[in-house]
Every structure is written in C-alpha cells, then in structure tokens.
Amino acid sequence: MRKRKRSRWLARLSLKWKSYILFAVFVTLPTLWLGQVVLQQLSGILREQFMASTERNLDVIVMNLTDKMKAVEDMSDYMTYSRDFRTFMMSPPDQISPEENDRIQDSIMGFATFQLMSKGYIKSISIEGIGGGRVDFGEPVLSDETDWREKARSKRGEAVWSDSYLIYSGWNESKRVLSMFRVINSYDDPERPIGLVTVRMDEGAVSALLETGMGKQYGHIFIVRGDGTVVLHDDKRVIGSSNPWLDRSGASSFYSGKGPNAGSYLQIIREVGATGWQLIALIDRARIESHAQGIKASILLILGVMVLLGLAALFGFHWTIIRPILELKKQTMRLEGGDFQARVAIRSGDEIGSLGRQFNRMVRTIRRLIDTKYVLEIRQRESELKLLQSQIDPHFLYNTLDMIRWTARLEQAGQTSQLIEALSRFFRNSLRKDRMWTTLQDELEFVRSYLELQKRRLGDGLSFTVLADARVNHCVMLTQIIQPLVENSLKHGLARRKQGVIAVRCYESGGGLRIDVLDNGSGFAPELAGFLMGAFGSPGSQPAQGLALHNIMERLRIVFGESVGFEIGEPPGGGARVSLRLPLLYNSEQAVRLLHRKDQPGKAGIGP
C-alpha cells in the first residue's frame, strides 16, 4: 500500500521537479559520495606508496653503508695476509736492511695512498706494530683514541667501530669521524697480536649518505648500537648516550615520540650488516599526510567543477527540453478545449522543435478539414464518376494485348505469346491498385506474373516457387502487399547472385495469415536489420533504406492497427526472410468491421 501511495506521489509531480529529484539522487549525491571514497582510498594509497618508497631508500642506504664498512674491513683483512705488512709490524726497523725497509715502506705507502684516493670517505689510516714501527697516512690526527684502542685489543682481532667523535688535525678545522679499530694477528699464530690498524671515515660522507634516503624535513634518522647507544645523529649531544625515547620493538610501526622528538612518527628500523648496529628512521606523520594535500585539493576542485557543470546541464535541460514540453502541453489543453487557434512557438530546430511544428501543422490540418468537410463530400462524388469513366482505358489495353498474344501464336512465336500473356496478367492486377481489397489467390497470381517476366529477363539466374495453403487461398487482404517484398529481394538481395532463388509461402498460423518471402541473397546487415525493426515499431519514421518495406508496414498499420506482425531474419540456408502476419479475413464485411475497431489495442508479433 505504501509503495502504491509513493508511486502515485511521484506520478503527480511535474516534469520539472522530477528532473530536479533525479539530478539530486543520481548525480549530486553519487558524485559527493564517490569523491569522498576516492579521497579516502587515494590518501591510503599515497601513504602506502610514500612509506614503501622510504623503506626502499633506507634499504639502499643500509646496503651502501654496509658496503663502505665492508670495504674498510677488507683493507684490514688484506694487511693480515700481506707479508709486507706483517714484516713491518713484527720487525724493529733496525733489524731490516735499508733496501728491504724502503721496499716495504713503498709497498705500504702505495696501498694506503690508493685506498685514500679511491675511497674519498676515508680521511686517514694509522698502522702500528709490536716492533715499534708506526706510519700514518692522510690527515694527521690529534685526538685521544685510547678507549677505542683498548676495546679493539680486548676483541683480539674483531673489528671495532667507534661512535662519531671529534678529531683535530693540522690541515683543517676539527671534524667528526667514524673509525674502525682492529688488532692484526700473526698469520702463523692467530692468537698472537702483531699490530693495530685504525681507519677513520668522514662522518659528513656517512651523514650525506643517510640524507639521500630521507630529507631532514621529513623527520629524524639514527644509527644506534644493539644496546641502544647512539652512534650517529644530527644532534651531537646524544651521540654516545642511550636514547630512551626510541621504541625498537618493531621493524615498521607508528610511534609517538618523546623528549626532543615529541610527536607522531612512523618508525622504520633496518639492521646494518653484521655490525650489530641499527638504522632507525622516524618520519613525521604530518609530513606523510601533507604529501597528498595537493592531490586532495585538486580532486575536491574537480568534484566542485563537476557539480557546477551538472547544475548548468540541469538548467540547460530545463530551458531547452522541459520548458518547450510544458508549452506544448499548454497548447494541447487549449486544443482539447476546442480552441483551434492554439499554436506553439518554435525556438529550436531539434526534435522538440519538430514536434512543435508538427503540432502546428496538425492544428492547421484540423481547421482545414473542418472548413472543407462538405467540399470534400462533393469532390468525392465527382471522383467516383471519373473512376467509372477511366475504366474504359484498361479494357482497351487488355483487348490490345490479347490481340497481340493471339497474333504471336498464329505466327508460332510461343515464348513471345507467353511473355505477352504474363504482361497482360501483370497489368490487369497492377491497374487494380485503386481497389483496396483483393484475395490471396489474385495477389499470388500477380506475383507469379511478375516473377515469370523477371525470369524471362534473367534466364537461368532466377528460380522461384509460390505456394499457398488451400485453406487460405480465398482470404481477403490488401492489394499489392507481396509483390513489393519480392521486388525488394530481386533488387537488393539477389543483385550480386549468379543463381537466385525466391520462395513465397502463405499459410495459416496462430489464427492469422502468415506470409513468408525468402531468398538466398546477401541478407540483412545486423545494423540494417535493427534499424528496420526499430523503424517499423515507430509509425511515421522514414528510414534511409528499406523504403518499400516501410511503405507496406505503413499501409498495414493504418488498416489493421497493432494486429499486424512483422519480422525479418535469416533462413537456415542463409539469405533473407521477411514475414508478415495479418488477420484472417474471408469476406469484405469482416474487413469493414476490422476497420471500425482498428484503434483498439492489440498484440503485435509473429505467431509460432
């Protein structure tokens, strides 16, 4: 009951308000909802992309940092296995011949110089041995490194990496370095230390490496030891201290910073090779969200423009479509009230303007018909008299053709006689076009005459069959309905066929008269078939092709209304098929009664 009331309420609304409601329900609300969904999903996608990109960059940083540290450790490995380095560290200088000492010094200097020049991040190299020998390459260092040296001796050959610390040199101002301290053991006795190597890396080069993966504007980045001691950070005050405001429980998670890093951050942790260090990046969450603000603003602007364009389209729809329809409705009500001066103002050349022009023509036609009603009745009487007089000419034509046919027989021209006989039958039927009704038998005789004439013209290129069920042979139908269908098959379907076949079949089906015209031609293109079916479903339409079919359907529709059926298709063997279904009438009285009730609603279609 509620649905019925709701539908009645909608039905009572004007076309203008219906368009407003449809626009709001199907345009405005879905656009706003879709925009909100797109914004949320886009924010998530951009956030995930930013996080993934940052994690990839951090992985690259860790790989590069690990490579540099591994290269430094490989240098110390080389010193362990190099005979020159072992000799230098184990033997006192006075126990080596001058020539050998010079050679060893040149070898060590060449190796160290190559490393300093090829690896710009190495600032200096120091080598000292138990024999008392010591060499320094690169910048001279004036700093206390005792604690790290003792820690390296306690590790007995394992590489020890220092925190970032300050060194002084005579070349430049003070600077910070990260250093590797490592004890070199004897090649023959791995438990016996023979020297100590110190390789110092420029902290600036390492910091620049960290900044390539994440700019300072996005947050903070640390290098910490396994116990939480800070190895490297922008704030030099926290280096060497345990950082209590880092949460190292997860590899990648959102984290609320404390102390100097208060705020909401995304924390990403990566292990730095086998050093036991961790690279920790804290990315400001507000920076992640602001990364998508520009795109969000663009989407909101696009949504706003879409809504404004929709409103403009609604206004244009109201002005160009709804307003003329309301005007047409107003004038139609005037005409319904008996005012035959109703007229629609034409403001466009589109379909609505065409509809207005047709309405104006219809009003003029109604006025003219009313004014000339009695004149038409008088003219009808005169036309009937002229029709009786015009029947003399066809009789003269028939008699002349009959005389020529007999003359051809006397001259033993059999084929000529047959052609004249077929032409005579064809003219006899075609000159009956003023008659509205005929029988199926006469109509098929007309078709046979036409096909026989065409067969004489085409020879073996055409064969045909015309069949009718005896039960429908005397049915009443409109004149010249089947012959245009056959002619259409010849002109269009069989135009490029060397051997054409046409079949006409008439029989009773579903309580009506079924007429099928089939050929083995090229058939209907799918787009043409759909167009013709659509055109035949719309009275008064004028298709660009299929004019003969259209005229037939117009005649049938005027007489029989919706009780006529039409179908086009393709027979099993290929080609084209046109089928008509007409009411089954056996006398003219039934036809007259059908004309009186043709406006009653019926059910169109082809019977089974």
Q: Return the higher-pLDDT residue of 468 and 102.
A: 468
The alpha-helical segments, DSSP class H, found in 91-135 are 98-118
Would you say residue 488 lies in a domain? yes
Residue 11: inside a domain: no
Q: In the chain, count of helices (H) and strands (E)? A: 19, 18
- 509 versus 54: which is more confidently predicted? 509
**Same domain, yes or no, for 272 and 189?**
yes
254 phi and psi angles, rounded to 5 deg:
-80, 140
Q: Is the pLDDT of residue 428 over 70?
A: no
Asked if residue 17 is part of any domain, the answer here is no
pLDDT at 181: 93
Question: What interhelical angle do 373-390 and 392-410 show, nearest 10?
Answer: 20
538 and 558 assigned to the same domain: yes
The one-letter amino acid at 569: G
Q: β-strands 500-509, 462-468: how paired?
A: parallel
450 and 580 share one domain = yes
Is 114 in the same domain as 135?
yes
Higher pLDDT, 73 or 132: 73
285/184 same-domain check? yes
* 72 in any annotated domain: yes
Residue 212 has pLDDT above 80, yes or no: no
What CATH number has the domain bearing residue 481?
A: 3.30.565.10
Q: What angle do CA 293, 298, 304 make, to 5 degrees?
A: 125
Judge contact between 196 and 181, C-beta under 8 A: yes
Report yes or no on 16 lying in a domain. no
What's the rounded Cα separation, in Å, for the pair 419 and 521?
26
Within 8 A by CB and 6+ apart from 432, the residues are: 438, 479
- Look at residue 340 in the predicted model and tell me its pLDDT: 74
pLDDT (tens digit, 9 = 90+) per residue, 368-394? 766 655 444 544 455 454 544 444 455
Sequential DSSP letters for 182-217? EEEEPSS-TTSEEEEEEEEEEHHHHHHHHHTTS-GG
Q: What is the pLDDT of residues 516-536, one digit of tens each?
A: 999 888 877 777 666 666 655
- Tell me: the pLDDT tens digits for 251-288? 444 445 544 455 567 778 888 876 778 888 877 767 66
* CATH code, 129: 3.30.450.20
Q: Would you say residue 140 lies in a domain?
A: yes
- Residues 359, 255, single domain; the answer is no
Same domain, 362 and 378: no
Do residues 241 and 355 share a domain? no
309 near 303, Cβ under 8 Å?
Answer: no
How many domains are contained in the chain? Answer: 4
Q: Which DSSP string corresponds to 287-333?
A: HHHHTTHHHHHHHHHHHHHHHHHHHHHHHHHIIIIIHHHHHHHHHHH
Range of the domain at 350: 331-367
What are residue 133's phi and psi, to 5 degrees?
-80, 145
Decide which of 425 and 307 is more confident. 307
Residues 203 and 97 in one domain: yes
* 67 found inside a domain: yes
The predicted structure's pLDDT at residue 199 = 93
User: Is residue 263 left, alpha or beta, with left meaning phi > 0 and alpha meaning psi from -120 to 50?
Assistant: left
Q: Taking 90 as the threshold, does the pLDDT of residue 503 lie above it?
A: yes
For residue 270, being part of any structural domain is answered with yes
Q: Given a cut of 80, is residue 246 above it in pLDDT?
A: no
pTM for this predicted structure: 0.44
Q: Look up residue 333 and give its amino acid.
A: M
For the chain, percent of residues with pLDDT exceeding 90: 7
> Which distant-in-sequence residues (6+ apart) come within 8 Å of 359 by Cβ?
328, 331, 332, 344
**Is the model's pLDDT at 605 over the cut of 50?**
no
Assign 505 a pLDDT band (cuts: 50, 70, 90). Answer: very high
Taking all residues of the chain, what is their mean pLDDT, rounded to a whole number? 75
466 SS3 class: strand
Is residue 5 scored above 60 in pLDDT?
A: no
Specify the pLDDT at position 595. Answer: 59
Residue ending a domain, among 399, 431, 463, is 431
Rounded CA gap, 429 and 438, in Å? 10
Spatial separation of the C-alpha atoms in residues 6 and 388, rounded to whole Å: 64
